[in-house]
Amino acid sequence: MTRVNNDLRNKIPENLREDFEKQTYKVQFVQLQKDQLTTERDGLLLHLEHEMDKYASVLRKLDEQNKTMEEIKNEFLREVSERKKLRAEALSALKEQEKNHSLEMDKLNQTILEYTCSICLSPWDTFGEHRLASLACGHLFGDDCIKICLSRAGECPTCRSSAHTGDLRYICDRYHLL
């Protein structure tokens, strides 16, 4: 191309030759600018590609974190549900225990009433002053307690039927006095 340019220069008159050289210089300058802009554009494109790769990587990480957060949330909700279920079961078991305890307490109270004096609520002695005594009506008391009651009022403290100390019967079995 330089040989063609030289041939053309020789054929062009002097005043036009200067214009031609100026125009050639301008074309070269524009070509140089175009090359620089192309290089700059290519660099920007590479930088943009790199930034897009980083952005895609960030998006992937965010997606993984979202999935992890969703898994954590689901695990938490499952644990909450499981604990609510265990709590309900524990409450149910405690209510059942409370019910059984109340029944057992009622039985114990009934047993205590069956083996204690209904006047002083103390257990009867096998022998002695608080041994088991019965009135004619069949109600059971400690010996001293019923004697005191009969001395104040001549009636059974339970059923209010007429009674006297002579009606007292001491309860015993073959081996012990009850």
pLDDT in tens, 143-169: 999 999 999 999 999 999 999 999 899
What are the boundaries of each domain within the chain?
2-76, 117-170
Distances (CA, A) of 48 to 27, 53, 60, 138: 30, 8, 18, 108
Give domain 117-170's CATH superfamily.
Answer: Zinc/RING finger domain, C3HC4 (zinc finger) (3.30.40.10)
Q: Is 128 left (phi over 0), alpha (psi -120 to 50) or beta?
A: left
Tens-digit pLDDT profile for residues 75-131: 999 999 999 999 999 999 999 999 998 888 887 767 655 678 889 888 888 778 889
Average confidence (pLDDT) over 129-146:
91
Contact 143, 133 (CB under 8 A): yes
Check residue 25 and give its pLDDT. 92
At 27, list the tokens: 């074309």
Q: Is the dihedral of CA 117, 118, 120, 122 positive or negative?
A: positive
Check residue 60 and give its pLDDT. 93
Contact 117, 141 (CB under 8 A): yes
Tens-digit pLDDT profile for residues 6-39: 666 666 677 777 888 888 899 999 999 999 999 9
Write down the pTM of the prediction. Answer: 0.39
SS3 at position 177: strand
Complete edge-to-edge strand list for the sheet that includes strand 132-134: 140-142, 132-134, 169-170
Cα 139 to Cα 152: distance, rounded to the nearest angstrom: 18
Rg of the chain in Å (alpha carbons): 58
164's CB contacts (< 8 A; 6+ apart) are 150, 154
Cα 140 to Cα 119: distance, rounded to the nearest angstrom: 10
Helix intervals (H) in the chain: 2-11, 14-114, 143-152
